[in-house]
Amino acid sequence: MSCTRKIYSHIPSLRSINYLKHQKIIITGASRGIGLAIATRFAREGGTCILIGRNGGTLEEARESLPAVKGGGHEVMVGDVGEEGFWREIRHRKGIDVLVNAAGITHASPLFVTSTASMERVLKTNLMGTMLACRGVGVGMLSRRKGCIINVASLLALKGGRGSSAYAGSKAGVIGFTRALAAEAGEKGIRVNVIVPGYIETDMTDAMTPEARAEALNAIPLKRFGQPSDIADAALFLATSKYANNCVLNLDGGLSAV
């Protein structure tokens, strides 16, 4: 088992009862972390997943780690979510029930020393990638008047933090975009929600210094970081709750309350 799979594909203990049987799901950023945890959870519930990411090798590893589903296999698609051309191909896919936008990159530096290229790179993946995905996949959902979109933002969009201006700005944009799209798409049968994670055990938290990690843990009322599986359980709720639309769901162990 690879190190990535061992750390990030934590399987929740909740019992599977095939909530997503016969459903097709697109998940961006699906090769690791939150995206892979959501794919694992959804596959356990009978969903057929299309995993999207930039690295074909890690995507294949992720696909092979997923629980098998009856009536078809999971797929991978390699591409850049921030490129419009990639989503033109997706527009021709029919029968997508759920879209999860979990792709994201970060850049840690104060604004005044952050290059324009770095800002554009973060915004292109995190915000434009989410918008292009929703438009590309949403067209097919419109024709069926049915669908669910789950975006992934960050607590930094609401709470702020030093050295994260580009990342925080991109994720704040995701929250605002989600709210607007929920109003536009809801009347057409498409539900749109956003998960706002706090500190989750992923490669981003792995990069923290011991001092920064201890400080963050001390600030969280629950005194622990979340697991990717915690986000996956919330995503399953949003995918299956038929009245959930325009939810901004904080999962931060209470950090936003202090």
Query: Which residues have a catalytic role annotated?
Result: 167
Q: Pairing between strand 248-251 and 190-197?
A: parallel
C-alpha to C-alpha distance for 131 and 124, rounded to whole angstroms: 10
Rg for the chain (alpha carbons), in Å?
A: 17
Cα angle for residues 166, 167, 169 (degrees, 5° grid): 65
CB of 26 closer than 8 Å to CB of 99: yes
C-alpha to C-alpha distance for 27 and 76, rounded to whole angstroms: 10
CB of 178 closer than 8 Å to CB of 193: yes
Phi, psi of 39 (to 5 degrees): -60, -45
Which stretches of the chain are DSSP H helices?
3-8, 33-44, 56-65, 84-90, 116-123, 129-144, 156-159, 165-186, 203-206, 210-219, 228-240
C-alpha to C-alpha distance for 26 and 6, rounded to whole angstroms: 23
DSSP for residue 111: G
Residue with tokens 């594909």: 9
CB of 30 closer than 8 Å to CB of 40: no
Sheet holding 190-197, edge to edge: 75-78, 48-53, 24-28, 98-101, 147-152, 190-197, 248-251
